[in-house]
Chain A
């Protein structure tokens, strides 16, 4: 593609669009990429990241991570920190799937122990974790109970026997964003989502059984600190979010913001998907609270799914899940806005950090991460395609330059439409099984869309985050079993 003429190279992995690139930009835009990844980015990335740079109250830069691609409002892989006193909050900086995120869980089992039962394991996970279009969850709630889930997140799970105290400690923000008020959520969002607790969803959501091969460990010390200390250790990774509930919250407030943004607050934007309101406005605060409700629902969703995964492993291996070493490494959120403290011009400031398809990656010594990770930095979980594998990384001190944010996945390069033309889901399933990856799905069409070749090379993406000083590689995780949403 043709790169914007104004794009300047700052370093091997950092590129900048100056404020002169587009009228209205308040700050420059920075893109983290190697030259190769930059050339693979679609034109929408440059357009969208410079639109983000024009939002009121943005601090330092509008950022795009190496997995960046075209999104709605913000690019996927986008991040922007706003001054909470004079800046805005925008659903377009968070995404429709609020708190779509990744969870990584240890076992003390090896590949040799799991392999003979792999089909059985995947079949049982597939039977017991609802997936696909319009699925209802295995946790049945009344609408009133669901309001408690919204406000309490994983804490609700702890009270109801779906979690341990350690699970909450190993979840970003303890599995609950405080200040979530159910009253800020529409009845429609509640009705759309209250029966979806305990569902994986569809699209690129999945639950995967993976192996950590000794040759794929990049940093032995960090790997051991994160609990990876057995050769060919089996881990479980899963990816899902706030389901129809979060989608409805985002849709509701997109409309609210469109109705007040210009008329009441005089804010003009170039893209309706960047609809926003001042953070310190009734509408901005109501959305912040409703968004937190969706964040908490997503944490609870991943927590009850973990409980179910533990049950399945326990049944199949006839051992208690904790005897199987099924402890969480961490749970990270992709699509959120959060108040965090960061250094700006030598002073610590509170900022509203929007992350849209990007991951918080706090470095060693940061507050807000579990005590056991204070020296290592926060674990960062990056999901690749189901064919090519995923990564465990760690936050770095140098990540401060990007408000401690890194990539979230490999990022698509081929449209879903094209992937369906190029691949057949049933054939792909057979080919993957021949290569040692057993996949179950509700939808062969959906499987074809997730073919590995439809994504960027995950190795290049994570290597770039390391070169850019955003996150360091700990281990590469190779898939052996997958249930695809």
Chain B
């Protein structure tokens, strides 16, 4: 599970490449990359609250798009900093179904080192691909 930020494809914003041996690991890596843009030390987020998520999409790309947007939604709507603790993605008819658990806590300016807020996940150069080593995604965030 890993990610790296890309400096050359988003001058005004933030781009990253995330990888994972499995699609579930890829989703976790992408979630970490997204959250770390906003909170410097992901280790500072305590697992005080648990949320269940379930979403369905036709493609792995749009499923990841929705999943990352869900993290932004909770950050704004409930001031919750969340990371996935468990994800399971399975085929359901012609759709992909994701069931997962997010854990985290309410944003605390004293303990969390704030970086830059993420406005949106964009579809600019957005891609999810299966590689010989596993899975890879490129994501550009509007900040």
- Which residues of A pack against B, CB within 8 Å? 42, 69-73, 76, 96-97, 132-134, 136, 188, 191-193, 195-196, 201-203, 243-244, 247-248, 250-251, 254-255, 258, 271-273, 275, 412-418, 442-443, 445-446, 449, 485
Interface residue? B10 (CB, 8 A): yes
Q: Any chain A CB within 8 A of the CB of B115?
A: yes
Interface contact tally, CB-CB below 8 A? 119
- Which of B21-29, B67-75, B87-95 touches A? B67-75
Q: In whole Å, how far is A417's beta carbon from the nearest beta carbon of chain B?
A: 4
- Chain A positions within 8 Å of B113 at CB level: 443, 445
Which chain A residue shows the least CB distance to B112?
A: A133
| Interface size grouping (class) on chain B | 35 or more
Residue with the highest number of chain A CB atoms closer than 10 Å, among B8, B116, B122, B126: B116
CB-CB < 8 A to B107: which residues of A? 133-134
Pair A273/B124 contact, Cβ less than 8 Å? yes
Q: How far is the CB of B142 from chain A (nearest CB, A)?
A: 5
Q: Is the Cβ of A417 less than 8 Å from the Cβ of B109? A: no
Q: How far is the CA of A442 from the CA of B108 in the complex (A)?
A: 12
A134-B73 contact given A272-B123, A414-B11, CB 8 Å threshold: no
Q: Give residues of chain B (74-102) contacting chain A, Cβ–Cβ below 8 Å.
A: 75-77, 79, 81
Whether B116 lies near A251 (C-beta < 8 A) is no
Of A42, A192, A244, A417, the contact of B6 (CB 8 Å cutoff): A417
**Interface flag for B46 (CB, 8 Å):** no
On chain A, the residues within 8 Å of B81 by CB distance are 134
Query: Within the assembled complex, what's the spacing in Å between the Cα atoms of A243 and B123?
Result: 19
CB-based closest 7 A-B pairs: A202-B117, A244-B76, A417-B7, A96-B120, A272-B123, A445-B115, A133-B117
Distance in Å: Cβ of A131 to nearest Cβ of chain B: 9
Checking B12, B73, B75, B77 against A416 with a beta-carbon cut-off of 8 angstroms, the contacting residue is B12
Interface string of B131-143 (1 = CB under 8 A from A): 0000000001011
**Interchain CB contact under 8 A, B39 and A247:** no
The answer to whether B123 and A449 have CB atoms under 8 Å apart is no
Whether A416 contacts B124 in the complex (CB less than 8 A), given A72-B142, A134-B117, A136-B79, comes out as: no
What are 22 A-B pairs at a CB distance below 8 A? A42-B11, A70-B11, A70-B12, A72-B122, A72-B123, A72-B140, A76-B12, A97-B119, A97-B142, A132-B117, A134-B38, A134-B81, A134-B117, A202-B116, A203-B119, A244-B73, A258-B123, A413-B11, A443-B113, A443-B115, A443-B116, A485-B117
**Which one of A195, A250, A412 lies within 8 Å of B11 (CB-CB)?**
A412
- B121 CB within 8 Å of chain A: yes
